[in-house]
Structure 1
Amino acid sequence: MKECWQKDPSKRPKATKILETTNQKMDELPAMEGLDMETLTHELPAIDGSVLETTTTTLVDEVPDVETMKTERLDHASYNETLGQQPNAIDLPESTFMIVGGWNTNKLVQIYDINRKSFKPLKSTLYERDGSTIVKINNHVYTAGGLRSNFVECLDLNQVDGDWYKLASMNEQRQFAASAVLNDQMCVAGGSDGVNALSSVELYNPVVNIWTNIASMQTKRWQHALVSYNGRLYTFGGGEKLLILNHLNSMKSYDPREENGNH
């Protein structure tokens, strides 16, 4: 249109003429009273002098009032709280952490919101988790071990209504072991098999659902800590023997990239 106007500007309509024609057409419209407001059809002049027919539809009757919307929101929120509907994990704030199992808690799983200072229940685990260990990898939560247990299960946080599901079991039963994430894999070290403290270490690959033993720690440890930092594992504290107060204050590290690296 711009190119055409530049070649023959005399054909451009005058704004005053368009305005006068529009006002004349509007004056000719019937009064609004008594019209069906569902559909109001009126005619407006186009630039070339033809008539452009437009249709306007009112949606006033379809819009709920503000109070109704507020009430519906409150009812929905009460429903979620009362029936324990699972929160949308994608919307969970960063200020939350998960608690799985424990002594005399059976299969209880809860999340704690630090800002709101409140607990909220999640789906229970398949097995009792007394002295288990837990990690999070790619928005999936993995929990392993417990009293006389080598069972492992996972909760997919991407599925709002998802349940815990069983995975491949560890090679040994482990209670009060320590875990960390190493290269998107779950590493579980030490713990107790119910008779002795353990020095063995296992690595779980969630892609292939397989546990693999890696280099054992130089010292047996249970109720200790395990940290992964820059591709290296650090283990410290805990005890070396069961039922004996022999707390350890040593720390060892292990780098899987080193061929003969030991904890």
Structure 2
Amino acid sequence: MENEACMPVIINAMKTLFDLNMDEPTNSVLMHQLTRPRLPSSILLAIGGWSGGNPTNEIEAYDVKADCWVSVTQEDEHPRAYHGTAVLDEFVYCIGGFDHMKYVNSVRKFSLITQTWHEVAPMYERRCYISVAVLDGLIYAIGGFDGQQRLKTVERYDPNTNQWTMMAPMNEQRSDASATSLQGRIYICGGFTGIECLFSAESFNPETNQWTLITPMSSRRSGVGVIAYADLVYAVGGFDGASRLRCGEAYNPLTNIWSDVASMYNPRSNFGIEVVNGQLFTVGGFNGFSTISDVECYDEKTDKW
């Protein structure tokens, strides 16, 4: 009542609420900015993947506050599965993968502003079951499967020059691994050599262009989800060679030690993982019998899913 700047805002809101409660439609009111749903501060995107026995071009967006998934599929986009995704500036990049016919080295970026797809420079190598991480404004494409062998090679994309550059290879061949960046390093964990599922994990220092093996995980994990969260590297789920996993563990770079964290409700491998609004989300994947749509979120403060 005492704030002159507040008064018109409150009065407008009251008028809008009154008009919305009246029976007769008032189109001008419905277009009013006060009657539009609020946009979420951040959204989670699930892009492509394996669905109904084939790669799909489906894209779904999740609003954390509304606890709601919405289809935002772009029909002109190609189906893609087992690819990597990265967010850089206002673009979402889809990197490598499998399009039902072939393993691809193509890279496409989606503008969140214009909602259009653009092809960018392809990678040097075809990479399905790829691991992707972003560090210092550059995208790293790591390992994968080229249709013949599991890869230990690594390449880096600079959006300013639209060019890929080959980097130092990893110590081990890895497809179905997962990577993240934390405190100036890239971490990649687990994966599959073509013969065995891996315990091992490595970190990459961009200043020296070197990969270093770190303490192995407690479980073999192929199709693992790896993400930086609460200053730790989390490795969740995956396949140990016998069964799909619910368990997870977290790596502390300062102590070089892995610690167990709470297990998910659902076992899963080859799924999506991301941190949104301070919580860690695991999305979809394969539970050993079928592709699933289940989504869970984890809070490190309570150590609960």
TM-score, normalised to structure 1's length? 0.60
Partner of 1:255 in structure 2? 252
Change (3 A) 1:206 1:97: same
1: CA distance, partners of 2:108 / 2:251 = 33
- Residues 97 and 127 in structure 2, CA contact (< 8 A), matched pair in contact too: yes
Structure having the higher helix fraction is: 1
Of structures 1 and 2, the larger Rg is shown by 1
Change (3 A) 1:128 1:213: same
Partner of 1:123 in structure 2? 121
- Residues 182 and 231 in structure 2, CA contact (< 8 A), matched pair in contact too: yes
2: CA distance, partners of 1:114 / 1:260 = 38
2: CA distance, partners of 1:124 / 1:200 = 29
Listed one character per residue, the Cα deviations across residues 171-209 of structure 1 (whole Å, up to 9, x for unaligned) are 000001011102111110000001110010000111110
Listed one character per residue, the Cα deviations across residues 107-140 of structure 1 (whole Å, up to 9, x for unaligned) are 1000012343332100000011111111111111
- Residues 215 and 262 in structure 1, CA contact (< 8 A), matched pair in contact too: no
- Residues 215 and 256 in structure 2, CA contact (< 8 A), matched pair in contact too: no
Partner of 1:21 in structure 2? none
Residue 228 of structure 2 aligns with an amino acid whose one-letter code is S
Give percent identity, aligned residues only.
25
2: CA distance, partners of 1:94 / 1:125 = 20
2: CA distance, partners of 1:94 / 1:100 = 16
1: CA distance, partners of 2:136 / 2:259 = 28
- Give the match's secondary structure for 2:155: strand
- Residues 238 and 245 in structure 2, CA contact (< 8 A), matched pair in contact too: yes
Partner of 1:158 in structure 2? 160
Partner of 1:149 in structure 2? 151
Residue among 93, 96, 121 paired with 1:98: 93
- Give the match's secondary structure for 2:163: coil
- How far does residue 258 in structure 1 lie from its aligned partner after superposition? 2.1
- How far does residue 96 in structure 1 lie from its aligned partner after superposition? 2.0
- How far does residue 156 in structure 1 lie from its aligned partner after superposition? 1.4
Structure having the higher strand fraction is: 2
Partner of 2:285 in structure 1? none
Change (3 A) 1:140 1:149: same
Q: What is the aligned length? A: 167
- How far does residue 95 in structure 1 lie from its aligned partner after superposition? 3.9
Q: Structure 1 unaligned segments of length 5 or more: list them.
A: 1-91
- Give the match's secondary structure for 1:164: strand
- Residues 139 and 158 in structure 1, CA contact (< 8 A), matched pair in contact too: no
Partner of 2:136 in structure 1? 138
- Give the match's secondary structure for 1:257: coil
- Residues 98 and 109 in structure 1, CA contact (< 8 A), matched pair in contact too: yes
Listed one character per residue, the Cα deviations across residues 38-80 of structure 1 (whole Å, up to 9, x for unaligned) are xxxxxxxxxxxxxxxxxxxxxxxxxxxxxxxxxxxxxxxxxxx
- Residues 249 and 258 in structure 2, CA contact (< 8 A), matched pair in contact too: no
Change (3 A) 1:130 1:261: closer
Listed one character per residue, the Cα deviations across residues 119-171 of structure 1 (whole Å, up to 9, x for unaligned) are 21000000111111111111111111011100000111232xx4211110000
Residue 170 of structure 1 aligns with an amino acid whose one-letter code is M
Residue 247 of structure 1 aligns with an amino acid whose one-letter code is R
1: CA distance, partners of 2:256 / 2:119 = 44
- How far does residue 105 in structure 1 lie from its aligned partner after superposition? 4.2
Change (3 A) 1:210 1:93: closer
- How far does residue 247 in structure 1 lie from its aligned partner after superposition? 1.1
Q: Structure 2 unaligned segments of length 5 or more: list them.
A: 1-86, 261-305
Partner of 2:173 in structure 1? 173
Computed over aligned residues only, the root mean square deviation of the Cα atoms, in angstroms, reads 1.9
Partner of 2:199 in structure 1? 199
Mapping for residues 44-55 of structure 1, pairs under 5 Å:
none
- How far does residue 94 in structure 1 lie from its aligned partner after superposition? 4.0
TM-score, normalised to structure 2's length? 0.52
1: CA distance, partners of 2:250 / 2:122 = 35
1: CA distance, partners of 2:88 / 2:129 = 27
